Every structure is written in structure tokens, then in C-alpha cells.
Amino acid sequence: MISDKDLLSRQQARQLAQKAKDASLILADFSQSQIDTVIDAVAEAADKEAEILAKMAHEETTYGKTSDKIIKNLFASRDVYKFIRPLRTVGIIGEDSQRKIVMVAEPVGVVAAILPSTNPTSTAIYKVLISLKGRNTVVISPHPAARKCICHAADVMARAAVAAGAPDGVITCMTDVSREGTHELMQDRNVSVILATGGMGIVRLAYSCGKPAFGVGPGNVPALIERSANIPKAVRDVVTGTTFDNGTLCSSEQSIVCESSIKDQVMEELHKLKAHFLNEDEARSVAKIVVTPTFVVNPGVVGKSAIYIAKLAGIQVPQDTTVLIAPTKGVGKEYPLSIEKLSPILALYDAADFNSALDICIRLVRFGGMGHTMSIHSTNDELIRQAGIRVPVFRIVVNSPSTHGSVGLTTGLDPAMTLGCGAVGGNITSDNISPLHLINIKRVAYEIRSVQEINYSEGFRAPESPRAARRTVTPTSSSLEDKIAGFLEQRGFRHAAHQSPAPAIPSKAAEPESPALSFGQHKIYPVQPPKASVIINPQVKAPGNPHQNPQVIGPVDFVCEDDVRKALTEKKVIAIHKKTIITPAAKDLASNQNLFKKID
């Protein structure tokens, strides 16, 4: 009997990863219809449990507000679900008719989902749904401070998935939780990809495991209010965003930056919304209990109310205070409240003009929040676009609370609880993570020119500039019609007279049962599977029960990891001899599988 907590956690991680791997081999054979039946059931089960899960999360972590956690749970079970439900993630998912390429989806396998304490149950629902949609199984490692509520969420969804036809082991959750156990899970050979949400320590650990990982970075989101903005709405949006669940989302507003000419109006609106302005002594007191000596936010104030934080700092504030405002003159370690605070505390800056205000936003982001999010409130589209070009973040939320807009609740962004920060934020992607990040795409490529047609003897010649072409060519009525058709085609509208001829691709394999969505030359199929002609070689007999009489491949001289994966999937045995070379990765993957048959 193992009594050491870390060893128990590591052992459980290995067991759950193996169970998930076994289930993934079954789930990989599911049709689109079967997968969608499973996520329908999981989303419905999570939706019914949303209020209970929110109460459990608040009671266990003491972070945020139960009412807002209900909204986050429903956002995951409804908005995320509605967005991913129509996506094609099985079989042929699209084609490029011009380049004659057919795209086929493949699951990645087992997803290790590392969950935070700030948004525990909503992130669990979200990560399970996007993993299952890609035909992947998922092993959850909960934050120790949110273990009970996350495990309950996982259990609710797992029971619903199995009842809908999914294999046992499709959703599992570690109950013996430790940092060592989480590391063991992420490193396990059966895990294919890591979805890590949490502090930078756990995210860096995920990236160090030597396999694909999606992590996130800190937010430190500035909210820029420009003079043309609807100031009452802008201020209301900022306060709504920073007080939502007491600021536990990384994309919640952390600072207000406004032009000096409207500062008095901004402050007046903040007063109306029950904000308390800190004087210099109060700001220092708040900074001492919010920012640790290592210059990170104190976990004891994360997700707490403005009244709670003020009391902790020894400051008297009205009992209806919604947010603490700290007028601040600079950015950096000399100004502690310029960091990400994850609580309803806002630094307030004013600047002479828009460019100066934008410079402050850039400094705030560079100080802690590279690649994440900013918000801008303005009616001047040119200035909005300047912010989009200059500020090093990948989500610019316009005229909406940053908290809600960044996750796709009030904007057209992909609904998600994991927001990539791109290379500048140390992440592999700048996207809102969706099921499309959890599938691999194989491409069937048809010849579009013969080898004999290739001729490099003419030398290099740059293509003609489109601007130059417009200056030298006088459009006729027919060419103008072509330009209009091309413009509409780029936006998904295609006139029958301007449709490109179909490629020389077998029609049954490429033609879906329902029309594809056209985007220029590209077609993206909706969720209904396409018709496909399956050619069976009559000379090859299907193997019988693979456990009784498995089909043997070989003997072979070389075995790589892909060969092992294919044999496991097809339930075959690989015949090897004394001189067969087996790569270390293949040998590791095949261990304890009885996959190799030695022959003389």
C-alpha cells in the first residue's frame, strides 16, 4: 500500500492516462453523428448542474460570486456548445478546389486538461466539450483548491458521455492531486496534448514536457477610453468587466487609461457606479496586501470583493463600494498597482492625447500581459485600428467589457475559456482555443501540374503589383463584373456564372450530402458527413477476432512510432527478427502491449 501523497498522485496519473488511451482507440472510430450525440448529452448534463457547480466552486475556493460563476458555467455549456456543435471534426472536413486538396480530420488522442481554481467548473465544461468534439479523451488534473467541485463536474459529464455511447474512460479526473502527479500526467507517453490553465509556473511546466501544449499568459488588461466614446457606457462597461466574478478572469480590466480632456467625466461616472477613489496613503496600504514581495498578486485577494480588500488593508469604505480606483502616475515596480490584480481594483491613468494614452497601454501590456487583451472605447474607427496595429495583444475588445468580449460572450470571437497569447506571450497560438486546435488534418493532394511542366529556365520575375495593374488597365463592363463577382466571392457569395470548374477529385469522396460553405475557392463542409465510395480489395480478408488471431505485419526491418500507433489502432501484430531496428519512441509506446512477434 502506497501512503506517500505524491506517489499516489503519480500512480493515479499513469493509470488514468492508460485508461484514457484505451478509450481513445475506441472513440477514434466514432462517426460525426456519434460524437455529436455524446457532446449533446454532456452539454445538457453540465447545463442542468450549472447552479450546483457554481455554488460548490464558490464555497470551496471562496473566489468570486456564485451568480457570476453560474453565468460562466452556462456560457460553457451553451455558448461554447452552440459554437462547436456545427463544426465538422470527423472524416473529410473541407476541400480547396483550386489547389485540389481534400482535408481529413484525425483526433490527437488523449488531452491532459490542467484546471485553475479561479474558473474551475466552467473551464472543466469547456475543455471537456472541445476535447470530445475532436474525438479525444480527456484526463483532468484539478487545482488542489478546487478539487471537489472539478471532480464533481467531471463525474457528471462522464456519466452523461457513457450513457450516450462513449467508452468508459472518456472523461476522468485525478482525485489524488499534487504538483508531482500533474507533472507525471503531462509527461505520460499516453498523453498527446496538454491544455494548461493556471499560473505561469504550471504553464511553463507544461511547455517543458516535450509534447504539444496550449497554455495562457497573464492579462494585465488596459481599458482605453478615447474622447469620442460614449463615456457613461464606457465606464459602465469597464466596471462591469472588472467586477464580474470579482475579476477572476485573466481578461478582466486592470487599468483605465483616458485622455485628460475627459478625465473629470470618467471620474464622475465612476462615482455614480459606487467606485471608491484611494488617496496616496490608502493606495500604499492596498498595494502592500495585494502585491507580494516577489511582485505577484497575493492569492488571498484574488477574486475577493472591493469591500473585503479594503477591510484587509485597514481602509474604511462605504458598504456599497463596487471597485477601488488608484490614480497612478507610472508603470513598473515603483507603481505596484500597475500589475495584474485579478480583483476589482483599477489603476487610473490620464494622458494628454490619444497617442500618449496608447503609449501607456503598451507599457502596461509589456509590464505584464504581452499578447493577451486590451479594450478600447471609441467611435473613431481610425484610432481603433491604430490601437489594433500598435498594441502587442491579440484581442482588442471594442466598446464592450473586456472580460465578456474576450471570451466571445459579447463579441464575435470564438467562445472559449482558454485564450492564447501568441509567441510574444510565450504561447504556441494567439487564438481562442477551439476543437479545431485539438484535431490534426491530413491532406489528400492531387496533381495539378506534371513534372514535365516545371520549367525554371525563364529566370525570376516578380508578379505585377495589383495597384500597377489597375493604373494600366481600363476595365471593361465584363471585367468590372468579374471584379464585383470576385469581391462577393471573397465574402462567401458565389454567382453561378463565376463558379470555378470542379477539380478532378472523385465526386463521391468530395461531395457532401448538404452544400458546402463557400469562401472564395475554399469549401468548408457542415457537420453532415459526405458520401464516400469505399473500395474493398476482395483479395484481402478481414481479420477475425484480433485478440484470438491477430493479423501479423511483416517481418519488418524497421519500426517507428507511427508503425506502432497504426498497429495498435488496427489491432495487428508486428513481426520482427534479430536485426530489426526499433526506435526508442516505438519501443516505449509498445511496452506492455504484446505488439511484437519475434521470428527466426
Catalytic residues, by residue number, are: 250
Q: What are phi and psi of 193, to 5 degrees?
A: -150, 150
Distance from C-alpha of 433 to C-alpha of 520, rounded to nearest angstrom: 25
Q: How far apart are CA 119 and CA 69, in angstroms?
A: 8
Amino acid identity, position 446: Y
- 511, with CB counted inside 10 A (0-12, 13-18, 19+), is middle
For the chain, the first-to-last Cα distance in angstroms comes to: 42
Q: What is the SS3 assignment for 167?
A: coil
For residues 68 and 242, what is the distance between their CA atoms, to the nearest angstrom? 12
For residue 137, the SS3 value is: strand
Instruction: Give bridge partners of residue 523 from the DSSP assignment.
Output: 95, 518
Cα R_g (the chain), whole angstroms: 28
| Residue 480 CB partners (closer than 8 Å, separation 6+) | none
> What would the DSSP string read from start to end of 309-339?
HHHHTT----TT--EEEEE----BTTBGGGS
Q: What are the angstrom distances between the C-alpha of 62 and each of 146, 171, 304?
A: 10, 26, 8
Q: Which amino acid is at 343?
A: S
- Residues 568, 546 contacting (CB under 8 angstroms): no
Q: Which residues pair with 558 in a beta bridge?
A: 581
Instruction: Quickly list DSSP for 487-553.
Output: HHHHTT---GGGPPPPPSS-HHHH-BSSPPEEETTEEE--SSPBP-PPP--TTSPPP--TTTS--EE
Query: Quick one: CA dihedral 377, 381, 386, 391, positive or negative?
Result: positive
Per-residue b/e over 200-230, b at no fewer than 16 CB within 10 Å? eebbebbbebeebbbbbbbbbbbbbbbbbbe
DSSP string for 63-74: -S-HHHHHHHHH
The beta strands (E) that lie in 365-405 are given as 371-377, 393-398
Collapsing DSSP states into helix, strand and coil, what is residue 380? Answer: coil
Judged by DSSP in three states, 81 sits in helix
**CA dist., res. 581 & res. 593, Å (int):** 18
Distance CA 209, CA 191 (A): 11
Torsion 129-131-132-138 (CA) sign: negative
CA distances (Å), 555 to each of 544, 575, 576, in order?
A: 20, 4, 5
